[in-house]
Amino acid sequence: MLQQIADKWIAGEGLLGGVFQGASPYLVYSVTMLIGAILALVIAAHLAGIYSWAERRIAGRIQSRIGPNRVGPQGFLQWAVDGLKTFQKEDLIPQDADSVIFRIAPYLSFCGMFLVFVVLPFSNTLVVADLNIGIVYILAVSSIEVLGVMLAGYGSNSKWAFYGGMRSAAQLVSYEIPVGLALLSMVLLSGSLNLNQIVLSQSHEGFFRSILAWNFFATPFAFIAFFAYFTAAIAEINRAPFDLPEAESELVAGFCTEYSGMRFLFFFFAEWANIFVISMIAVVVFFGGWTVPGVHTAAQWEAITPYIIYGALILTVIGATWVGYRMGVRADEPTRLTKPTGDLGTTILAVVLGWGPAFTALAVLSLFIAFGLPSAAPAVIKNAAQFGVIFIKAHILVFLVIQLRWTVPRLRVDQLMMLCWKYLMPVTFVCILGNMAWIAFIDMNGTAANLTRVVLFALTNLLILKYILMVVQNLRHAKANFDFKLAV
Amino acid sequence: MSSLVTQLKSDEMLLNMGPQHPSTHGVLRFILKTDGEIVTACEPDVGFLHRSIEKICEKCDYPGFMPYTDRVDYLAAMNANHAYALAVERLAGIEVPRRAQVIRVITDELNRIICHGAIGVGALGMDLGAATPFLHAMRERETVNDIIEELCGARLTYNYVRIGGVWFDLPDGFVEKVTAFLNHFELAWEEINRLLTDSVIFRTRLMNVGTITAGDAVSYGLVGPVLRATGIKRDVRRDQPYAIYPELEFDIPVGTGTFGTLGDCFDRHLVRVEEVRQSVKIVRQCLKLLEPGPVIAKVPKNIKPPAWADVYSAVEAPRGEMGFYLMSNGTGKAHRCKIRTGSFAAMSIISRMAPGMMIADLVAFIASLDVVAPEIDR
């Protein structure tokens, strides 16, 4: 998308086109790239922060305790104050550490994560750089992270950190292979390395057909490749149950034993944002990316645009009015949202959360009704809807990753290596060969292929059903027996 | 480890594990020689918590030493109290009222439940990276702590057992509360074990790791679950009965080697899991045996056992046989006190078992021995 904007600006067209008229193309490209990078950084920073809060809340629920609930509603702003606090800490570097390596390691680790954000397609057009070699690029830059972790282990000049660094070198390098192989087996199916093209190859007319068109259901090998990919990817980002480089009960804190303050934050920044990165890649490659089921052609987007816009605006008006009203009346009826009566803070909250948005939405609504929707509306709605779809899909996987961490113990080093080399590697190789054979011998639009898709779809639904039943059963059990209090 | 690994020997690294290490359970220090991930030698360095408790006993009168026994094993203070009281009672020939004996068994077994539950099983899980079962077990421990707090006012160092009985009678509603807790706990224990024992990763981490043979266990003087996991059915409650244990029905779980080999870490874990179930059974039986009566015998203020009499009496604490050897000299103070604890014996076998283990295995092994630092050092 930045490419097109830059080209427009160089040609002197579009919004802000006049500003850059006659400027050197290099300057324009640099400026657009900088804007893109800052946008991606903002998204990554907020996601990583919010995940740190979400993880702690989810872990709290799983472990039958509360978790952070003090700062902001439900403790939602905990990540912000934690980040601020950590940034204020003294920048400690151990005396015997290799100070250059020690300083540079967190940023390398962070870069490995952040560079992947550049090619993630959040919608058809919302992508910082729409590279032709997207998948190869991801595999290449995500290896930089290993370097950061390894250097952190080496530069700390601590034995525990050194163990962490060595473990991560072995683990991350090994697990990159199954990740790469699993993704390549899907590249065979989609016929492109470009992430947007991979998504497009999974789109289809019609609601159910567009879900069945996901790569995940395409062949049995794709089905297996997803599980191989996701397991290996979790190992690649050092998440439990594969968090050996920082195994806290064995290696104190592994590679980040000597880190504190801001540098420590950067490692965890990378770790949490990486959860989103691997989930996004999985969604793009296996689960149809940003395709919105049932809406494909420009005419369809035109048709649903007014419904979405008017619906959203009306809901905003109603919701925000309710919030403002509640803030106003809560003098008699204190709720959890509000503090005791009528202070300045409540008034500001009522305006910021309630009346302000309500009146703005109402004004926009009346403008749209009076003058009609702007011509750009369908494009905006299309991108927003696609963004919403991929975001929800990715976060389902993010939740799974977080839940997994608080459910299972950690593997041992040799078991971890065995899982990689003895199980995941052969499985992913079989996936590649299988997908090749499938493409060669089976008509992708024929009955056999379609039947496979339906069967795999049914199987997936059964798996999800089983998962939901287990969770519901456990929750019910928990409710009946675990909110136990002695009557004293 | 295979012979290939031993052939590929590189320089050894000296690694200090502890005294401030997350998995050393208190202040323990292990001096490791490692070859990569593999430990080639491990020397436990104990004594960080040494408080001369045995010497203190020679300077206190008999009842005055009771609070110090709490500190021998702060996770199972009730058992340590009981062990000491039993020793003095046998030395001085004091009869304990029946109600007091029943109460002692109830508190002992409640203490065993939380000690095995939260530390023996929960902390083992946490050392393997499973934090959730540990916190679930800690939640159960809180409830038991509440119950015991009502009983004696303390949550950790109880100082509840007295020479000749127990300090207070049971508070109102104690039986109902314990019953309610046990009803809840039996389900909670199954849930914790679904998360932990049934987990394939947990199982493969512990199977065939740190296998102690029965011969080794005996020659190193191991006791308690660690000994029973090797298949030897030795339990002080059954072999040298005290209190009302002869009247109670309970099994003594021993290691079977169902998964892996007999006497490995997983067997030790399974023995503890099963012991908790047996403890629940014992408490239920004891609650039925409670009859009204005095809870403390008439004991002279200054207990003066006959001169140069000595006694060794033991109880089955969560970490195995906890014995007090007392020798009197005819005054109100003991001439000599020696405490025999399970953790100290368990520490001795670490340096034998460690060579060839990986660091992660060593952590699991130490956790499966369930050592607690003050019990080693005293």
Angle at A335 between CA A331 and CA A340, to 5 degrees: 45
pLDDT of residue B8: 65
Q: For the residues A278-287, what does the mean pLDDT come to?
A: 90
Output the CA–CA distances (angstroms, integers) from residue B14 to A346, A369, B40, B44, in the order listed: 61, 77, 10, 13
Q: Per residue in B223-233, pLDDT tens?
A: 989 999 998 88
Torsion sign (Cα): A251, B18, B125, B254 = positive
Cβ partners under 8 Å of residue B278, min gap 6: B250, B251, B252, B253
Nearest to A413 by CA among A174, A230, A226: A174
Please list the alpha-helical segments (H only) found in B262-372: 265-289, 342-353, 359-369
Minimal C-alpha gap between A153 and chain B (Å): 14
Split at pLDDT 50, 70, 90, the class of A270 is confident
Interface residues of A toward B, Cβ cutoff 8 Å, are: 59, 62-65, 159, 163, 166-167, 240-241, 243, 247-252, 406-415, 474, 477, 481-482, 484, 486-488
Chain A residue with Cα closest to B130: A409
Asked if the Cβ–Cβ distance from B130 to A487 is below 8 Å, we say no
Q: Per residue in B71-101, pLDDT tens?
A: 888 888 889 999 999 999 988 888 899 899 9
Nearest to A225 by CA among A280, A181, A193: A181
Res. A148: pLDDT tops 90: no
Of B135, B180, B201, which has the smallest distance from its Cβ to A64's Cβ?
B135
Chain A residue with Cα closest to B150: A488
Q: For the residues A197-217, what does the mean pLDDT come to?
A: 83
Of B324 and A143, more confident: B324
Please list the alpha-helical segments (H only) found in chain B: 3-7, 53-59, 66-70, 77-92, 98-114, 124-127, 131-152, 174-195, 200-206, 214-219, 224-228, 236-239, 265-289, 342-353, 359-369, 373-377
Terminal Cα-to-Cα distance of chain A (whole angstroms): 65
Asked if the Cβ–Cβ distance from B146 to A406 is below 8 Å, we say no
Cβ partners under 8 Å of residue B146, min gap 6: A486, A488
Asked if the Cβ–Cβ distance from B21 to A163 is below 8 Å, we say no
Output the CA–CA distances (angstroms, integers) from residue B263 to B25, B215, B269, B279, B344, in the order listed: 22, 11, 10, 22, 19
Asked if the Cβ–Cβ distance from B15 to A159 is below 8 Å, we say yes
Contact A256, A167 (CB under 8 A): no
Nearest to A189 by CA among A226, A140, A155, A163: A226
Secondary structure element (H or E) that encloses residue A225, with its range: helix A220-236
pLDDT of residue A483: 60
Cβ partners under 8 Å of residue A266, min gap 6: A106, A107, A109, A110
Split at pLDDT 50, 70, 90, the class of B278 is very high
Asked if the Cβ–Cβ distance from A411 to B201 is below 8 Å, we say yes
Asked if the Cβ–Cβ distance from A412 to B205 is below 8 Å, we say yes
Contact A417, A174 (CB under 8 A): yes
Give the pairing type, strands B320-328 and B310-317: antiparallel
Match 């409830």 to its residue by tokens.
B143
Of B13, B184, B196, which has the smallest distance from its Cβ to A484's Cβ?
B184
Minimal C-alpha gap between A482 and chain B (Å): 7
Strand partners, B34: B13, B39
Minimal C-alpha gap between B88 and chain A (Å): 35
Res. B64: pLDDT tops 70: yes
Secondary structure element (H or E) that encloses residue A42, with its range: helix A25-62
Distance CA A362, CA A343 (A): 27
Split at pLDDT 50, 70, 90, the class of A340 is very low
Contact A151, A100 (CB under 8 A): no
Please list the alpha-helical segments (H only) found in A118-219: 134-141, 144-155, 159-190, 195-200, 207-212
Mutation for testing the B interface, residue in A157, A411, A473, A484 having most B CBs under 10 Å: A484
User: In sequence order, what DSSP letters do the residues of A104-130 get, joined into one string?
Assistant: HHHHHHHHHHHHHHTT--SSSS--S--
Q: Which of A471-480, B45-54, B303-312, B356-365 has the lowest mean pLDDT?
A: A471-480
Strand partners, B316: B321
Contact B133, B196 (CB under 8 A): yes
Mutation for testing the B interface, residue in A65, A168, A242, A408 having most B CBs under 10 Å: A408
Chain B residue with Cα closest to A488: B177
Asked if the Cβ–Cβ distance from A63 to B204 is below 8 Å, we say no
Give contacts of A411 with chain B, Cβ < 8 Å: 201, 205
Residue burial A315-331, b: 16+ Cβ < 10 Å; e: rest: ebbeebbebbebbeebe
Distance CA A190, CA A434 (A): 14
Res. B254: pLDDT tops 80: yes
Taking each helix axis from N to C terminus, what angle separates A261-286 and A78-88, rounded to the nearest 10 degrees? 140
Nearest to B297 by CA among B149, B104, B115: B104
Q: Per residue in B331-363, pLDDT tens?
A: 888 888 899 888 888 888 888 888 888 888 888
Q: Per residue in A425-478, pLDDT tens?
A: 999 999 999 989 988 888 777 888 888 888 989 999 999 999 999 888 877 776
Distance CA A259, CA A237 (A): 19
Q: Per residue in B116-133, pLDDT tens?
A: 988 889 888 888 888 888
Distance CA B17, CA B30 (A): 5
Match 């179930």 to its residue by tokens.
B277
Nearest to A281 by CA among A120, A456, A426: A120
Asked if the Cβ–Cβ distance from A409 to B147 is below 8 Å, we say no
Cβ partners under 8 Å of residue B311, min gap 6: B87, B90, B91, B325, B326
Minimal C-alpha gap between B41 and chain A (Å): 17
Asked if the Cβ–Cβ distance from A249 to B139 is below 8 Å, we say no
Asked if the Cβ–Cβ distance from B360 to A241 is below 8 Å, we say no
- Greatest alpha-carbon span in chain B: 70
Output the CA–CA distances (angstroms, integers) from residue A369 to A366, A372, B88, B179, in the order listed: 5, 5, 93, 68
Give contacts of A481 with chain B, Cβ < 8 Å: 184, 187-188, 191
Of A59, A412, A482, which has the smallest distance from its Cβ to B361's Cβ?
A412
Of B126, B180, B188, which has the smallest distance from its Cβ to A486's Cβ?
B180
Res. A343: pLDDT tops 90: no
Distance CA A201, CA A377 (A): 26
Q: Kindly tell me the burial class for residue A472, based on how many C-beta atoms sit within 10 Å of its own C-beta (0-12, 13-18, 19 or more).
A: exposed
Give contacts of A243 with chain B, Cβ < 8 Å: 129
Percentage, residues of chain B above pLDDT 90: 11
Chain A residue with Cα closest to B20: A252
Distance CA A229, CA B266 (A): 31
Distance CA B313, CA A368 (A): 90
Q: Is B304 helix (H, G, I), strand (E, B) or coil?
A: coil
pLDDT of residue A338: 47
Distance CA A277, CA A373 (A): 35
Interface residues of B toward A, Cβ cutoff 8 Å, are: 13, 15-16, 21-23, 36-37, 125-132, 135-136, 139, 143, 146-147, 150, 177, 180-181, 184, 187-188, 191, 195-196, 199, 201-202, 204-205, 358-361, 363
Give the pairing type, strands B310-317 and B165-166: unpaired
Percentage, residues of chain A above pLDDT 90: 7
Give the number of beta-carbon pairs within 8 Å between A and B.
103
Nearest to B226 by CA among B371, B369, B25: B369
Q: Kindly tell me the burial class for residue A412, based on how many C-beta atoms sit within 10 Å of its own C-beta (0-12, 13-18, 19 or more).
A: buried
Match 């109830």 to its residue by tokens.
B106
Match 């030790």 to its residue by tokens.
B268
Torsion sign (Cα): B315, B317, B322, B328 = negative
Give contacts of A477 with chain B, Cβ < 8 Å: 187, 191
Minimal C-alpha gap between B87 and chain A (Å): 35
Contact B150, A457 (CB under 8 A): no
Split at pLDDT 50, 70, 90, the class of B271 is very high
Tell me: ipTM over 0.85: no
Asked if the Cβ–Cβ distance from A409 to B202 is below 8 Å, we say yes
Cβ partners under 8 Å of residue A161, min gap 6: A152, A153, A254, A255, A256, A257, A258
Of A371 and A401, more confident: A401
Mutation for testing the B interface, residue in A250, A417, A477, A484 having most B CBs under 10 Å: A250
Asked if the Cβ–Cβ distance from A488 to B146 is below 8 Å, we say yes
Average pLDDT over chain B reads 87
pLDDT of residue A466: 93
